[in-house]
Amino acid sequence: MMHILRRWYDRHFSDPQVVILAFLLTLGFAVVIFAGRLLAPLLASIVFAYLLEGAVRHLQMWRLPRMVAVILVFLVFLALLVATLLLVVPVLGQQITQLVEELPNMVAHGQNLLLQLPERYPQIVSEEQVREIMGAIRAQTIALGQQVVNLTLASAMHIATIMVYLVIVPLMVFFLLKDRDAILGWITGFLPRDRGLANEVWEEVNLKIASYVRGKFIEILIVWAASYLTFIFLDLNYALLLSFMVGISVIIPYVGAAVVTLPVAMVAYFQWGLGNEFTYVLVAYAIIQFLDGNVLVPLLFSEVVNLHPVAIIAAVILFGGLWGLWGVFFAIPLATLIQAVIRSWPRYGDEERPREEGPA
């Protein structure tokens, strides 16, 4: 047994650069898993700075000094953040409150419809089945109400923490952009000199992750705006809330659009019934999803991510279970990282390939 383990270790970890890569990956995942909540402001700042770095580089290509480019990009970021907090968040909160208050009426109306099913279709639906469904609906409604109350109380209790984050995160974003080279130089000073394999993996992953994350934010904004304008034009209730859900749903490939269809259809049904307006909403929603999947996604991502749908769904389930919404958002970049590591990992019998020396 020890001989087999020894051969496996020599096959996969005989190269010192492989050990360095494995150590860096283990260290990175350990920090996120065990200190993710504690370092949440820093991690969020790194994500925002990573996203904004592309805009800074574009301005630098126009021969603007880096400091000027950083200030311009940061001011735009700050303006969007303030506008979101003052204009979007209050309306979202108001519409969520209205929807929760309207939910009992929707449930009562749905129960009346269910009670009519045994009379219309006695051979398909029985009264006992309807009672079980109604009991499940009541239980889910009570649980949802409790979750909303708990969320409200938790938000009230952590309002001071949120306000602190709203000050700390923008400041850290600014300094991460301003002193990017100095910070990266300080970090690489602690890394081994001979890290060619790690550099190889990072170069491949960095290009794909940067394009994916920036493209995904653009996709969210475009789908959100298109859905909001469409719902406003059709005079659908809770237009901002529903369009926000539609925009966020693109984070979860294949599944998000199907899940969000239910609240959009329910709100439209309880507002108009099975009329023309209901049909218009569903047709418009289907067109938005079609354009997103067949026009916007190929335009934004092209060949950035080449993963099988099963791998994407598995990554969403795994990393979403570990890190919640952040895990869902970064599921595909993390899967891309794993794919790059597997592709670059030396295999038994491969010819020894030269590694480029890492920076001093």
Distance CA 65, CA 56 (A): 10
pLDDT tens sequence across 192-243: 666 666 666 677 667 677 777 778 888 889 999 999 999 999 999 999 999 9
pLDDT tens sequence across 114-159: 777 777 777 776 777 777 777 777 676 666 666 665 555 555 556 6
Q: Could you write out the DSSP letters of every residue in 263-286?
A: HHHHHHHHHH-SSHHHHHHHHHHH
Which residue, 353, 360, 349, is CA-closest to 7? 349
Q: What is the pLDDT, as a whole number, of residue 352? A: 47
Residue 182 in this model has a pLDDT that exceeds 70: yes
pLDDT tens sequence across 288-337: 988 888 888 777 765 555 666 677 777 778 877 776 666 776 777 777 77
- 8-state DSSP, 357: P
Helix (H) or strand (E) holding 54: helix 40-61
Distance CA 171, CA 120 (A): 63
Name residues whose C-beta falls within 8 Å of residue 146's C-beta, 6 or more positions apart in sequence.
none
Domain spans in the chain, listed from the N-terminal domain onward: 34-192, 195-360
Q: What is the pLDDT, as a whole number, of residue 8? A: 56
- 8-state DSSP, 191: S
Confidence of residue 244 (pLDDT cuts 50, 70, 90): very high
Question: 173 and 52 in contact (C-beta within 8 Å)?
Answer: yes
pLDDT tens sequence across 29-72: 777 677 666 777 887 888 888 888 888 988 988 888 999 999 99
User: Would you say the C-alpha torsion 191, 195, 201, 207 has a positive or negative sign?
Assistant: positive
Tokens representing 101 are 């208050």
Question: 246 and 260 in contact (C-beta within 8 Å)?
Answer: yes
Residue 353: CB atoms within 10 Å: 9
Distance CA 177, CA 48 (A): 10
pLDDT tens sequence across 7-23: 655 555 555 666 666 67
SS (H, E, C) 282-324: HHHHHHHHHHHHHHHHHHHHCCCCCCCHHHHHHHHHHHHHHHH
Q: What is the pLDDT, as a whole number, of residue 145? A: 62
